[in-house]
C-alpha cells in the first residue's frame, strides 16, 4: 500500500518561482529539486495530475520554455532531464491510495483533524483500505511518518539523514563545494 504525501502549496509555489527566476543558480537548484521529487515521490506528481492540473501544466509550460529559450546550455539540459523524469513519474504504474472524506468525497490528509472542504472529523471516518492508527493517540497515520503529527510520539527509527549545510541547515548534495543557498564553503576543490 502506497500513501501519498502531496506537495504542499508552499512547495508548488517555490518550484514555480524557482523556474521563473532570472538567477541561473536558482533555476538549476529548482530543476534538481523537481527531479528529486519525480524520482523519490512520483505519487506526489500523480496526485498533482489528479487534483491540481493547473499547477502541473504551469510547471510543464515553464520547463518547455526553459528548454527552448534559456541562454544557459546546462540549464536547458537539466530542464530536458527534468521533463523526462516528470513524464516518467506521470506514467508510473503502481496503485496509490488517497484517503477520501466519507462526507464530501474530497481527498484528505491523515495529519488533519478535519476535512478542509466540509469540516467532517477525520478521526471518525472509515476508509476503503486499512489505515494504521497511532498506538499512543489512536489517530490515523501514514506508514511513512517517523513521528505522529497528532501527538508527536516516535513511530519508527529515522532513516538515513540527508546532508545539510552546517551554516544554513538546508539540504545539500555530497558533491557540492559551496552551499548554493548561503555561500558557505562546504569543502575544498580536490
Task: Select the highest-mean-pLDDT range: 14-23, 40-49, 110-119, 133-142.
Answer: 14-23
Tell me the C-alpha distance between 84 and 100, whole Å. 30
CA-wise closest residue to 5 among 99, 104, 85, 140: 99
| 62 φ/ψ angles, rounded to the nearest 5 degrees | -65, -40
178 SS3 class? strand
| Confidence at residue 95, expressed as pLDDT on a 0 to 100 scale | 43
The residues near 146 (Cβ < 8 Å, ≥ 6 apart) are 154, 155, 156, 157, 158, 159
Q: Which residue has the cell 496503485?
A: 95
- Rounded to an integer, what is the distance from CA 116 to the centroid of its chain? 20
> Residue range 11-39: average pLDDT?
95
Tell me the C-alpha distance between 9 and 62, whole Å. 17
Helices 53-69 and 42-51: crossing angle, nearest 10°?
110
131-183 pLDDT, tens digit per residue, is 889 999 999 888 777 888 889 898 887 655 677 888 878 778 887 888 877 88
Helix, strand, coil content of the chain in percent (nearest 5): 40, 5, 50
> Residue range 85-100: average pLDDT?
71
pLDDT band for 94, please (50, 70, 90 cuts): very low
- The full set of domain ranges for the chain reads 9-90, 99-159, 160-190
Task: Output the average pLDDT for the chain.
Answer: 85
31-70 pLDDT, tens digit per residue, is 999 999 999 888 899 888 888 888 998 999 999 899 988 9
Amino acid at each position: 500500500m502506497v500513501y501519498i504525501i502531496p506537495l504542499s502549496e508552499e512547495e508548488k509555489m517555490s518550484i514555480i518561482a524557482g523556474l521563473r527566476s532570472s538567477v541561473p543558480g536558482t533555476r538549476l537548484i529548482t530543476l534538481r529539486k523537481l527531479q528529486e521529487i519525480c524520482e523519490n515521490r512520483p505519487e506526489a506528481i500523480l496526485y498533482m495530475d489528479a487534483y491540481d492540473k493547473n499547477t502541473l501544466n504551469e510547471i510543464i509550460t515553464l520547463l518547455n520554455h526553459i528548454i527552448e529559450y534559456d541562454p544557459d546550455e546546462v540549464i536547458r539540459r537539466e530542464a530536458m532531464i527534468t521533463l523526462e523524469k516528470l513524464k516518467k513519474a506521470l506514467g508510473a504504474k503502481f496503485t496509490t491510495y488517497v484517503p477520501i472524506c466519507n462526507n464530501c468525497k474530497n481527498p484528505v490528509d491523515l495529519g488533519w483533524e478535519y476535512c478542509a472542504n466540509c469540516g467532517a472529523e477525520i478521526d471518525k471516518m472509515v476508509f476503503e483500505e486499512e489505515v494504521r492508527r497511532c498506538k499512543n493517540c489512536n489517530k490515523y497515520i501514514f506508514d511513512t511518518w517517523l513521528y505522529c503529527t497528532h501527538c508527536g510520539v516516535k513511530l519508527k527509527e529515522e532513516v538515513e539523514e540527508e546532508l545539510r549545510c552546517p551554516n544554513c541547515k538546508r539540504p545539500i548534495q555530497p558533491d557540492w563545494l559551496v552551499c548554493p543557498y548561503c555561500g558557505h564553503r562546504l569543502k575544498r576543490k580536490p
